[in-house]
Structure 1
Amino acid sequence: MSTTFDPVAFKATTRAQWEQAAEAWHRWGPAIESWLGAATDTMLDAAEIGQGSRVLDIAAGAGGQTLAAARRVGPTGRVLATDIAPAILAYAAQAAADAGLSNVDTVEADGEDLAAVAETGYDAAISRVGLIYFPDQQAALAAIRRVLRPGGRISAVVYSTADANPFFAIPVSIIRRRAQLPPPAPGQPGPFSLGGPGVAEQALAEAGFTGITVTRVPSPLRLDSAAECVRFERESFGALHQMMSGLSQEEREDAWREISEQLTQFDGPKGFEGPCEMLVVAAATPV
């Protein structure tokens, strides 16, 4: 088994996995917004999004944060939602239409170059649990800086460290062991790739951003039971399926059984509460 990271293959499988998980991620939308609502509000605050703002949403997925931004910018503002997976982006477009938001546009775009984003001069760029999965985060940050106006802001939600996010780290660890995957090297994509002390700050500084801030947001995942958490992750966490790609169907089922057993430790009298901590990283382009 090759242990050499292939960014081209990774991006292709990422797109394929999110195409497959699009319906589920949309269907789990209410649970996702409950889970990530506080971090999303903090991200939009840090991006200084208000009435009339022009906002670019990177790796927008099914668009929960897109709609939140659109409500803030109002009828005089615009939000452009981008994603590498057109199937999941279609759900964002439909959600905006269903919500009566006419100030949202969508375009399929690779977040590492944003060549499909013709306009520049955006007031803010946001990304909710998306930047962590780019094979070349510096390319993505350079592309974002290019489309922002001078003094424009970037704000992103990322996971902190694995030990603060066991609801996700436990499945990742189990699958990594069973699939015999090496730990990700520094700079490689993954859920915790920007969570270490100083890592996000260094990445933004290297990309030329200034006024960098990092805010910790407790974001426990609350569901009815560990079994429901496993359903959520199994149906909609493309990263886990991507890691399992080298396992047989029987091996995958065995892995999910072990994950289920381990996650029951977070079941309690009030249901499942999976510890989770998000970071909101924010900065500005030089004026």
Structure 2
Amino acid sequence: MEPTTPQFDPVKYKNTTHDQWQEAADAWFRWSPTLNKWLGNATEKMLAMAGISTGHHVLDIAAGAGEQSITTAKKVGPSGEVLATDISSNILEYAKKLAEQNGLSNIKTKVMDGENLTLDDETFDAVISRVGLIYFPDQQRALKEMLRVLKPGGKIAAIVYSTPEKNKFFSIPVSIIRNRAKLPPPLPGQPGPFSLGAEGVLEKAFEQAGFINVKSELVDSPLQLPSASACVQFEKESFGALHQMMSNLTNTEKEAIWEEIERELQTFESETGFTGPCEMIVAVGEKP
């Protein structure tokens, strides 16, 4: 009798992801200035490709602490509106806080699963998602939901990581943890940071969901910090995916892994600080 092939459990994965972001919400908010510097160029490219302008109603999927929601709200102005959604209620509290700090009243927040949008058809001019779509268990379902809530001619724009080779600040920790924790390769259909990063994969996903005029651009997005130690601190506090991979290890084993990660990341240190290689794909599609 052949052994049963392990199957990816999307419900368990989603529950675990929810819990991780509930816990990481405070850290993600505290690192907002780093996120803005790191992903600012890709975010501006995403908003430009989506054609977002004054008066638009924009849906932000997997908005997190809402740093990109703030940028969007400033573009659409008082006559427009941004709805920031996420599965984590804790992290959306920080999105509200960030909006208040910026004196913005045109941002609303709502706890929502991106695969099951509790929104009316054809109500948004644009949908954006920054480094969120990669973690959806059913990416097609999520994309089709985004298509449904867009007005005809409306656009979706998303940012995802490209390949592991181009994102060593993240892929090196993933590789070390996978090796140390003796984890098997990702199961078929399992989401993750590089699940949409291979050439043409994101574009094909958009087209399969029903979008037209699909285009993409690569954006060099180096993660710049004072040191490799600071990068480890950032990932240790904010990257739930890494903690999920280490969930069955002891604290001693985890600390040993973080030490190995820091040693490896020191390769990217120089006299001017730490520059972690990172490349993003920004893609856009249009509703017929």
Scaled to the shorter chain, the TM-score interval is over 0.9
Are positions 1:169 and 2:171 aligned together?
yes
TM-score, normalisation: structure 2? 0.96
Question: For residues 246-272 of structure 1, what are the alpha-carbon distances to aligned partners after superposition, in whole Å with 9 as ceiling and x for unaligned?
Answer: 212121111111101100000101000
| Maintained 8 Å contact 2:8/2:187 | no
Query: In 1, Cα distance between the equivalents of 2:115 and 2:185?
Result: 23
User: Which secondary structure state, in structure 1, belongs to the residue aligned with residue 219 of structure 2?
Assistant: strand
1:183-222 to 2 correspondence within 5 Å?
183-185=185-187, 187-222=189-224
Amino acid at match of 2:27: A
1:47 paired residue number:
50
Question: For residues 159-216 of structure 1, what are the alpha-carbon distances to aligned partners after superposition, in whole Å with 9 as ceiling and x for unaligned?
Answer: 0000000000000111111222222245421000110011001111110000001100
Question: For residues 125-160 of structure 1, what are the alpha-carbon distances to aligned partners after superposition, in whole Å with 9 as ceiling and x for unaligned?
Answer: 000000000000001001101100111100001000
Q: Give the paired residue count.
A: 284
1:256 paired residue number:
258
Q: Which runs of 5+ in 2 are unaligned?
A: none
1:1-287 to 2 correspondence within 5 Å?
3-115=6-118, 117-118=119-120, 120-185=122-187, 187-286=189-288
Query: In 2, Cα distance between the equivalents of 1:166 and 1:190?
Result: 15
| Maintained 8 Å contact 1:55/1:78 | yes
Cα RMSD of the aligned pairs, angstroms, is 1.1
Amino acid at match of 2:48: D
* Mean CA deviation greater in 248-257 or 28-37: 248-257
* Mean CA deviation greater in 180-189 or 136-145: 180-189
Amino acid at match of 1:137: Q
Query: In 2, Cα distance between the equivalents of 1:139 and 1:69?
Result: 25
TM-score, normalisation: structure 1? 0.97
User: Which secondary structure state, in structure 1, belongs to the residue aligned with residue 218 of structure 2?
Assistant: strand
Amino acid at match of 1:189: P
Deviation at 1:245, TM superposition (A): 1.0
Give runs of ≥4 in structure 1 deviating > 3 Å: none
CA gap 1:138/1:90 in 2 versus in 1, 3 angstroms: same
User: Which secondary structure state, in structure 1, belongs to the residue aligned with residue 246 of structure 2?
Assistant: helix
Query: In 2, Cα distance between the equivalents of 1:43 and 1:188?
Result: 25
